[in-house]
């Protein structure tokens, strides 16, 4: 079964899939071991990893390189965050070919202008594309995919841009008309009410995707009660968790004047060896090194 088919099957079986952001093969391996259904090749996470803002500064090549490295070390389906699609509908055609070839099961394309501004920043200049132009991008993605199970997810930033629920519903419907398989509705409100209200007002069969970064109180139980959200993406939790651990550990090493205390609280190297599949290397050494 292709990873894309696997993702669709899992959604049908469980009603809701849990997708963890990955910014590296190591984070992908850890997400797979933890039991997530898939991985989010997050633009925010990769930008943070490079120490730059999530504002179209990471190139498609950089994102694809990391995605290929991730795909090489996990069996989980990958949902790629391709931001605005790297240009117009023609660029989207090129992007879909590249991402599908790289082993992606789904892409999310957002209806902002290029260069995009990261969604959650206070006072962000959020400009949306004309609806017809974005419909062209979605239609181009759908027409380009080779695997019919490959998901084209249209993301509207209407709520992020402060345009209100009616505009968000209008845009989401237009993107369904253009062929989107799912709609990602994003919000930066701390209160999940905005998302719950959209979900209740959404009367199309096409299911919804959410990224509860700003509104963490919307847990899986509440999401399931809404009935039409099939995918939850934990969009920046990997890089924030990693940065939290590094910040604390590095601070303690400076404060303690050495590693005499922190070494007990971090992964032993043997665990890193396990994640690196050192046992396979040992077996290959015994078999082939002569
Ligand atoms: C990402 O993880 O890159 C996202 C989610 O797009 S957010 O940063 O909340 O917009
Ligand atoms: Mg993103």
Nearest to 76 by CA among 41, 37, 43: 37
57 near 40, Cβ under 8 Å?
A: no
- Residue 211: CB within 6 Å of ligand 1? yes
How far is residue 55 from each of residues 11, 101, 107, 118, 124, measured CA to CA in Å? 31, 25, 18, 6, 11
> In the prediction, which pLDDT does 98 show?
98
- Residue 157: CB within 6 Å of ligand 1? no
CA of 145 to the centre of ligand 1 (A): 23
CATH superfamily of 3-237: Phosphoenolpyruvate-binding domains (3.20.20.60)
- Residue 173: CB within 6 Å of ligand 1? no
Give catalytic residue positions.
54
CA of 258 to the centre of ligand 1 (A): 36
> In the prediction, which pLDDT does 120 show?
95
Nearest to 225 by CA among 32, 9, 49, 15: 15
CA of 122 to the centre of ligand 1 (A): 14
Ligand 1 nearest-atom number relative to CA 119: 10
> In the prediction, which pLDDT does 40 show?
98
- Residue 100: CB within 6 Å of ligand 1? no
State how far the Cα of 224 lies from the Cα of 79, in Å rounded to an integer.
Answer: 21
Over the chain (290 residues), the average pLDDT of each successive run of 10 is 95 97 98 98 98 98 98 97 98 98 98 96 96 98 98 98 98 98 98 98 98 97 97 97 98 98 98 98 98
Task: With 0.95 as the threshold, say if the pTM is over it.
Answer: yes
- Cα 158 from chain centroid? 19
Residue 38 φ then ψ, to 5°: -170, 180
Nearest to 231 by CA among 2, 1, 21: 21
Where in the chain are the domains? 3-237, 243-288
Pairing of strands 208-210, 229-234: parallel
């Amino acid at each position: 079964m292709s990873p894309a088919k696997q993702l669709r099957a899992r959604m049908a079986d469980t009603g809701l899939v849990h997708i963890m952001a990955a910014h590296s093969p190591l984070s992908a391996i850890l997400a797979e071991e933890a039991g997530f259904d898939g991985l989010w090749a997050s633009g925010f996470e990769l930008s943070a990893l490079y120490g730059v803002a999530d504002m179209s500064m990471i190139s498609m090549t950089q994102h694809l390189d990391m995605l290929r490295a991730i795909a090489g070390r996990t069996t989980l389906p990958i949902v790629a965050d391709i931001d605005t699609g790297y240009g117009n509908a023609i660029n989207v055609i090129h992007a879909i070919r590249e991402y599908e070839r790289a082993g992606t099961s789904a892409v999310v394309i957002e209806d902002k202008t290029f260069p995009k501004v990261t969604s959650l920043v206070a006072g962000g200049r959020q400009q949306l594309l004309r609806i017809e132009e974005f419909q062209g991008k979605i239609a181009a993605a759908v027409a380009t995919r080779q695997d019919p199970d490959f998901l084209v997810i249209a993301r509207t930033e209407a709520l992020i841009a402060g345009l209100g629920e009616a505009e968000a519903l209008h845009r989401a419907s237009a993107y369904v008309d253009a062929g989107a398989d799912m709609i990602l509705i994003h919000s930066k409100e701390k209160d999940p009410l905005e998302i719950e209200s959209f979900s209740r007002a959404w009367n199309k069969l096409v299911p919804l995707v959410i990224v509860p970064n700003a509104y963490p109180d919307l847990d899986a139980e509440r999401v399931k009660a809404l009935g039409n959200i099939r995918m939850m993406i934990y969009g920046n939790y990997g890089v924030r968790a990693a940065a939290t651990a590094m910040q604390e550990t590095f601070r303690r090493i400076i404060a303690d004047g050495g590693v005499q205390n922190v070494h007990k609280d971090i992964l032993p190297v043997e665990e890193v060896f396990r994640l690196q599949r050192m046992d396979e290397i040992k077996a290959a050494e015994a078999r082939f090194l002569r």
